[in-house]
Amino acid sequence: IIQGMEVESDGQRPGKKLVRKPYVVNEMELEASLPEKKSNTLSRDLIDYVRYMIQNHGENYKEMARDEKNYYQDTPKQIKRKINVYKNFYPEEYKNFIASLKPEKMEVQ
């Protein structure tokens, strides 16, 4: 018998236990048998935030911290950490994003 499972004796057969809510047990067993979900994505908001900061400030984290879009009032170190998380999750996308920024900077000069 699973500990904490609601059981009661039907009185007529003293050794036999009666499960009052079998659907609960079934749902718990089903949930326990499912593989653990791994979250391998970042929120769209975080991705947009990081890309905006890099696009407008390059690698100047102090400037990023003073930006009006820094809604969460992240410190320069926190912003750097978020950018590194983005780099690690999407290395190809990050590389392509940085490459797409290079020509724009050359045209401005």
Q: Which two tokens stand for residue 58?
A: 């390059």
The residue that leads in pLDDT, 28 or 56, is 56
Instruction: Write out pLDDT tens, residues 61-79.
Output: 999 999 999 998 999 999 9
The yes-or-no verdict on residue 109 having pLDDT over 50 is no
The answer to whether residues 53 and 20 touch, using CB atoms and an 8 Å cutoff, is no
Which among 20, 17, 26, 27 is positioned nearest to 6, based on CA atoms? 20
Q: Which two tokens stand for residue 44?
A: 């769209």
The yes-or-no verdict on residue 18 having pLDDT over 80 is no
The yes-or-no verdict on residue 3 having pLDDT over 80 is no
Instruction: Write out pLDDT tens, residues 37-63.
Output: 666 778 999 999 999 999 999 999 999
The yes-or-no verdict on residue 31 having pLDDT over 50 is yes
Average of per-residue pLDDT across 24-41: 80
The answer to whether residues 18 and 26 touch, using CB atoms and an 8 Å cutoff, is no
Query: What are the C-alpha distances in Å from 106 to residues 5, 57, 95, 100?
Result: 69, 15, 18, 11
